[in-house]
Homo-oligomer: A and B are copies of this chain.
Amino acid sequence: MSSEESNSNRQMARQNGIVQPLLTDLYQITMAYAYWKSGKVNDVAVFDLFFRTNPFQGEFTIFAGLEECLKFLENFHYSDSDILYLQQTLPDNIEPEFFAYLKDLTCKDIRVSAIEEGSVVFPRVPLLRVEGPLIVAQLLETTLLTLVNFASLMATNAARYRMVAGKNVSLLEFGLRRAQGPDGGLSASKYAYIGGFDGTSNVLAGKMFNIPVKGTHAHSFVTSFSTLEDINSVIIRHAETQEPCNLLELAIEWRKRVSAIIDISPEEASDGELAALISYALAFPSGFLALVDTYDVKRSGLLNFCAVALALHDCGYRAVGIRIDSGDLAYLSVLARETFESIAGAFKLPWFSKLTIVASNDINEETILSLNEQGHKIDCFGIGTHLVTCQRQPALGCVYKLTEINGQPRIKLSQDVGKVTIPGHKEAYRLFGADGHALIDLLQRSSEPAPEVGQKVLCRHPFQESKRAYVIPSKVEHLYKVYWKDGRIHTMPKPLHEVRERVQSSLRTLRQDIKRNLNPTPYKVAVSDDLYNFIHDLWLQNAPIGELS
């Protein structure tokens, strides 16, 4: 392992330092004691981790967070100071043997099956199935939920932005300052990348997860310069000839020539802004991307940018583009593109018309859809608050429900049918049609044979008797793999970039009407006939006496 890798692993360990058994709700530990005390140490349970509703009024979710769940299982261990803390916190009458029991607990007898990270997933289909000692499986609940809920929510949010933005636009995550805490920011960067973003402004996320990092300068950089006298150096060596060029003189000259073309007086443009852009260009001659809205995009920013970009070109460098952080982004991006095209024409510099236009002002899915309708000319969106806080729906409601204990199925009834759990040890299959699209997800009892290609399968709504259909799959995908078994990782989770690719390939299997922004069609999740009858027999056995609900 190189020293860089080991450094990066140390960083990771630091971040993961807080993902430990005490990162849980106290009731998991009080329940563990009650189970322990009532002799349930050898009880074996099955828990399903699933959600009930897709976020963002959509009809799909991206599953993420699996790798972090596996790391948590690997490191699951109560330290001496954890035990001490629990002894101080729980009531005095707790039997000391319980703490000895906790001290030795690991996840060696736990088995976790899961859907592949980065897959599209749907309500009620378990993302994780956790099997093993009741007490240990129960103790994992809160931490697994914490790790899956936000990761999946962020990845889904990012994937939605990618869909509305289209393939040809770059998406950058700029949300660190508005994120929910430092780790909220890091998770946002990571899962935004997985969901389809191209990079982040968050340097630590870049270092830890090997995600491209991007950024230029802020308004404060521009306002820190007042006049042309604020520039300390003006000389840059030509990229090829190494001849010294005076970037200030060249820029002032170009500003005059450009102003004639775009009909803006050079006097209207801010000299402080020009000084700032020249200084920035001197520092980053090959990566010159300038913020142009500090004063006025039309009358100052664009003119100053073009002047410096053309001056840089005289010195053998090509500018990258501009960023606009306020105002009417459709209008301003069109204005900027027209300006670049005029200049490209006037000075015979075709590349100038292709300069990058970045936009970054409080952008959300709706803004992008509206900009699309208006015919914007933006090449890249920098997205912050709405992305990282998932403003439209800031939590995914994954739950973790007991479905079997000692081989006996468990059902959680509720007056709200949507909250009734599907009992027992189950498998999940995705059935595909001949055109490659996913048709339906099917839950079966684990004792049933898997659906077969070309054979008709009866798919039933889990709770509505009349809703049923036969499906003849052209392809059957068993959704679960065993990821954790015998105290270690059994299937290695895929590296970040493969999970990122999985998101896009998995989304491609969904019909467009399921993915669309407005009134998407729900994807069907069904149960087998056997599982349907199993659910309803159990429901009947557990039905309350004396009331009709």
Contact = CB atoms under 8 A, between A and B. Distances in A.
A285 B217 contact: no
B202 A178 contact: no
A138 interface: yes
A146 B14 contact: no
A37 B186 CA distance: 30
A147 B179 CA distance: 9
Contacts of A184: 150, 180-181, 183-184, 187
Contact of A31 (B221, B405, B414): B221
A313 B4 CA distance: 63
Interface in A438-460: none
A484 to B, nearest CB: 19
B405 A224 contact: yes
A495 interface: no
Contacts of A81: 3-4, 7-8, 11, 207
A279 interface: yes
B30 A296 contact: no
Interface stretch (A17-25, A348-356, A527-535): A17-25
B203 A546 contact: no
Highest count of chain B CB atoms <10 Å: which of A20, A284, A326, A416: A284
A182 B89 CA distance: 21
Given A181-B183, A284-B34, A412 B544 contact: no
Interface in A410-432: 410-416
Contacts of A27: 201, 215-218
A221 B176 contact: no
Contacts of A143: 182
B214 A34 contact: no
A226 B394 contact: no
Contact of A93 (B14, B146, B174, B286): B286
Given A38-B283, A284-B91, A149 B178 contact: yes
A231 B396 CA distance: 36
A180 B265 CA distance: 50
A84 interface: yes
A195 B18 CA distance: 23
A15 interface: yes
Contact of A385 (B185, B203, B389, B395): B395
Given A204-B23, A284-B34, A390 B401 contact: no
Interface stretch (A39-47, A163-171, A462-470): A39-47
Contact of A203 (B23, B215, B285, B400): B23
A241 to B, nearest CB: 16
Given A18-B15, A226-B408, A410-B223, A26 B233 contact: no
A268 B549 CA distance: 13
Contacts of A544: 268, 270, 295-296, 299-300
A57 to B, nearest CB: 15
Given A14-B18, A27-B216, A299-B544, A283 B395 contact: no
The 4 closest A-B pairs by CB, nearest first: A183-B183, A14-B17, A26-B215, A27-B215
Given A22-B203, A23-B182, A35-B279, 15 more contacts: A11-B18, A18-B182, A23-B203, A23-B204, A25-B201, A25-B203, A26-B213, A28-B215, A34-B283, A38-B232, A150-B181, A180-B394, A223-B411, A224-B402, A385-B394
